Amino acid sequence: MSLMGFALNALLQNERVNAASPADDPFARPEMEPKSYDLKPKSPHFEPRAKAMISLWMQGGPSHLDLFDPKPELQKMDGKDFEGDIKYDNAAEASSKLMASPWKFHKHGGCGMEISELLPGLGEVVDDITLIRSMHTGVNNHGQSIQAMQNGRILSGRPTVGSWLTYGLGCETENLPAYVALIDPGQLPVMGVENWTNGFLPSIYQGTVIRPQAPRILNLDPPPYLKGAAQTEALNYLEELNREHLARRAGYHDLEARIASYELAANMQLAAKEAVDFSTETQATLKMYGLENPETKEFGARCLIARRLIERGVRFAQIFTENQRWDHHGSIVSKLPTACKKVDVPSAALVKDLKQRGMLDSTIVHWGGEMGRLPVIENNSGPSRVGRDHNTYGFSMWVAGGGFKRGHVYGATDELGHKAVEDVVNHFDYHATLLHLFGLDAERFHYDSNNRSMSLLDNQGGRVIKGLLA
């Protein structure tokens, strides 16, 4: 259970990273007792650049060709046959005809980064981000590529990045979950709850879901009718019952501890309530996140909650778009702009806000999904109905803060935007780099499950991409 751990932090103390194992050091830790795990803050292997992370998870495959990766050659070749090898996901709608982007790209900021007209908000913060144009997972369906990006391999059942980070580093607050998943009011994304699973790690490292409606955190919030005074009355009565019970059982410490644990539980409820309460935010902040605009309000609120949680010591927050929001097999001309409008302004606001609060240096922001899209047309049945099929051989995402470069473009795809060819960043390279920024050496960072040494990179040879680091 995801809430299991964060109450164990009652004794806050700095511990060594959960990285030593009997393999390195068979005599270091005599253990007959089962190992115990907690969420106390832990020092990483070396001085970290990043202390927390917010990932904006764009499930479905945002079209890099129409958002991040302008391709003059593709514009010229519009309608011509694609000559190379290509992997189609949807056979019946496949075509070999190239499709130019219907949108214009403009240079932004001091760095002159080229971004599509669909993302004007992002245009305002390009000097603070690194745009990676050479992402690669190489598995062309959603489920597997999601797993590659989220848990390091194309397999299911492994712990997610957030789970690894909280296992390694714990949490800076005892009253909030270490790792939160802010889900969309729509359907869960592909792979559902696997997106925040602890896999084989202890269950205290599972992501805690913050729901879009009450109760916001199951098991932490009561159902609406009990919230507030009704639950307080019940807790008062419970304490009365427990005190009376204890009076005739003096000296049984466990009974006293259980009474005390309700106080701790109540603190956690208060902290969670406070974290999602915007009454202390200024009008300007609310406006910046797009809370006054119906199109951006919902996503903006989740971005703001994420910032507030990180501010209060949460280690890792991931914000999810709904199921296949970016999976534009058809009607890309109308659907892509809609998808962009929901997230563009709030995503940029998050970068601006973290920066103005001095938190961006130590907080990584990530924006991206599991794939990009093909340069060829899918569903060639009229301009309003065309789309693009999956592409995991080359796609884009952006990162900011926490030691990533600013105003930088890294890597490139081929001239038609099909495959990453220059400075390719595999999912495992990205993960090695993330761990590095958090002060963790991917080679030394592992967990023993059934006497098998398990790690995020899982011997795939991921390397820290120096070219991404500030």
Q: Are 454 and 200 in contact (CB under 8 A)?
A: yes
Report angle CA 167, 347, 352 to the nearest 5 degrees. 95
261 binds other proteins (CB under 8 A): yes
Whether 386 contacts 108, CB under 8 Å: no
Which residue, 252 or 356, is less far from other proteins as judged by CB?
A: 252
Name which of 148 and 437 has its Cβ closer to other proteins: 148
Sole window of 89-97, 288-296, 297-305, 357-365 interacting with other proteins (rule: CB under 8 A): 89-97
| Binding region for other proteins (CB under 8 A) out of 26-34, 288-296, 353-361, 414-422 | 26-34
Residue closer to other proteins (CB basis): 27 or 283: 27
Span 342-401, contacts to other proteins by CB under 8 A: none
For other proteins, give the closer residue by CB, 7 or 464: 7
Touching other proteins, residues 262-291 (CB under 8 A)? 262, 264-265, 268-269
2 binds other proteins (CB under 8 A): yes
Q: Are 338 and 296 in contact (CB under 8 A)?
A: no
The smaller minimum CB distance to other proteins, of residues 197 and 363, is found at 197
Q: Toward other proteins, which CB reaches closer, 43 or 324?
A: 324
> Which one among 43, 49, 86, 335 touches other proteins, defined by CB under 8 A?
86
Distance CA 167, CA 38 (A): 8
235 vs 286 by CB, closer to other proteins: 235
Q: Torsions phi, psi of 298, nearest 5?
A: -65, -50
Q: Which of 372, 368, 59 is nearest to 189 (CA)?
A: 59
Q: Closest distance between other proteins and the C-beta of residue 145, in Å? A: 12
Beta strand 395-400 with 412-413: parallel, antiparallel or unpaired? unpaired
Instruction: Tell me: does residue 470 bind other proteins (CB under 8 A).
Output: no
Compute the least distance from the CB of residue 448 to other proteins, in Å.
6
Stretch that binds other proteins, among 21-29, 128-136, 339-347, 359-367 (CB under 8 A): 21-29
324 conformational bin, left if phi > 0, alpha if psi -120 to 50, beta if neither: left
Site for other proteins in 90-129 (CB under 8 A): 90-96
Distances (CA, A) of 351 to 127, 140, 314, 344, 365: 11, 30, 17, 11, 7
Give the integer Cα–Cα distance in Å for 69 and 444. Answer: 35
Query: For residues 27-56, which are near other proteins according to CB under 8 A?
Result: 27-33
Which residues, numbered 137-156, are part of the site for other proteins (CB under 8 A)?
A: 142-143, 155-156
Q: In angstroms, rounded to a whole number, what is the distance separating the alpha carbons of residues 357 and 366? A: 18
Regarding 293 and contact with other proteins (CB under 8 A), the answer is no
According to CB under 8 A, which one of 75, 219, 293, 338 is a site residue for other proteins? 219
Nearest CA to 105 among 423, 417, 430? 417
Instruction: Find the length of the chain.
Output: 470
Two tokens, residue 308: 């507030």
Q: Please calculate the CA angle 278-279-281 and round it to the nearest 5 degrees.
A: 65
- Bond into 102 cis (ω within 30): no
Counting contacts by CB under 8 A, is residue 225 touching other proteins? yes
Interacting positions 185-214 with other proteins (CB under 8 A):
187-194, 196-197, 199-200, 203, 206-209, 211
Tokens of 437: 């920024």
- 16 binding other proteins? (CB under 8 A): no
Residues 416-435 that bind other proteins (CB under 8 A): none
* DSSP characters over 270-315: HHHHHHT--TTS-HHHHHHTTTTSTTTHHHHHHHHHHHHHHHTT--
20 makes contact with other proteins (CB under 8 A):
no
Least separation in angstroms between residue 23's CB and other proteins is 5
Give the pair of three-digit tokens for residue 56: 């904006």
Q: Residues binding other proteins: what is the number (CB under 8 A)?
A: 101
Give me the least distance between CB of 60 and other proteins, in Å please: 11
Nearest distance from C-beta of residue 4 to other proteins, angstroms: 5
Site for other proteins in 328-347 (CB under 8 A): none
DSSP 206: S
Q: Does 79 bind other proteins (CB under 8 A)?
A: no
Closest to other proteins by CB, 184 vs 353, is 184
Residues 434 and 452: their CA atoms lie apart, in Å, by 23
